[in-house]
Amino acid sequence: MPKPHVDTSRKTVPASQERAVQPAAEMPAVLDLLGSGACHAGPELARRLGISRAAIWKQIEALRAAGLDIESGSDGYRLTQPLDRLDPEAILMRLPGAVRRRLGVLENHWRIDSTSSECLRRVAALPDRSFVFADWQDAGRGRRGRQWISPPATNLQFSCLKRFSGGYAALSGLSLAVGLAVASALEACGADGIGLKWPNDLVHRDAKLGGVLIELGGEFMGPSHAVIGIGINVRVPAAVRRALDRPCADLAELCGDALPSRNALAAALITGLVASLDTFDAAGFAAFAGTWRERDALAGRVIHVDDARGAFEGKAAGVDARGALQVRCTDGLRSVDSAEVSVRAK
């Protein structure tokens, strides 16, 4: 079960439905000009922005250091891929009416420490089913203290605040249900062959496509809430791949020329999550157990498990009714929850 988060946020007035969509934060002006993918000379950029050529160079280098692939040559600077802008209004327009009516806040930040941190800071004020996106995270989080690395305006990283009438003791298996909802939504967008590696990774042929991080708060017996952080690789530049410590997959590979826009992907993910989270609230993980078996990327494989009890090996044997991993070992069946544990297929 995910480690609970203790809610210490200040009480504020909940946001109104009339302000469900917040305006997108502004991106750097130089990136706005480069966004079409056309080539722009340094002097032209400096003239249009009213700054020096040296200042343009510094901004370009900062964006490159963050992972954006910007070419430079005799003709000037050019993004290797046109900027796929994330726009809350465009996302909202793609949502079914029933989802729009039930949505809380929908917003995008150009740059933020972490979408989950933002949700946690505002957990008392945000309405149920609020979604916070960011083009760029300075401190995106993964499980076990890892950092989620993503270039600006390239992939999808967002968090959802979901409130539950029951306590967080009943939320075991939530990360698995979320993973299933995300995989199904991406499959509907043209990304086939997505599996789930317990407890929170989306994979394609063992290469990581995305991840889920859940932080819980509220009362043990209820009510409670979950801040659900999700990161999806949409288009990972070669330089970023080289910096990662494991193979990764992205939707550009899986979808090819049919890759949807980030706005279309965001709308599909929101639609799938809203429905699945309501199902989980009503029926728990039991409603997802059968579907999990179909996407279980570890089933029947020899795995190495490292948890608080020490490391051991065995054969993955699915999950139990609570979503805990079952491992068949020489001394019998062991059950592993998702607190602080590492699982690796051999």
- Catalytic positions, written as ranges: 143, 208, 344
**Phi, psi of 310, rounded to the nearest 5 degrees:** 110, 175
- The Cα 147–Cα 84 span in angstroms is 23
Which residue in 150, 39, 143 sits closest to 86, CA to CA? 150
**CA-to-CA separations, 282 to 273, 277, 287, 295, in angstroms, rounded:** 14, 9, 9, 22
Which residue in 104, 153, 93, 72 sits closest to 273, CA to CA? 104
Neighbouring residues of 51: CB distance < 8 A, sequence distance ≥ 6: none
Residues counted in the chain: 346
- Angle (CA) 55-237-156 rounded to 5° is 90
Name beta bridge partners: 210: 202, 232
* β-strands 325-329, 76-79 pairing: unpaired
- The Cα 32–Cα 49 span in angstroms is 11
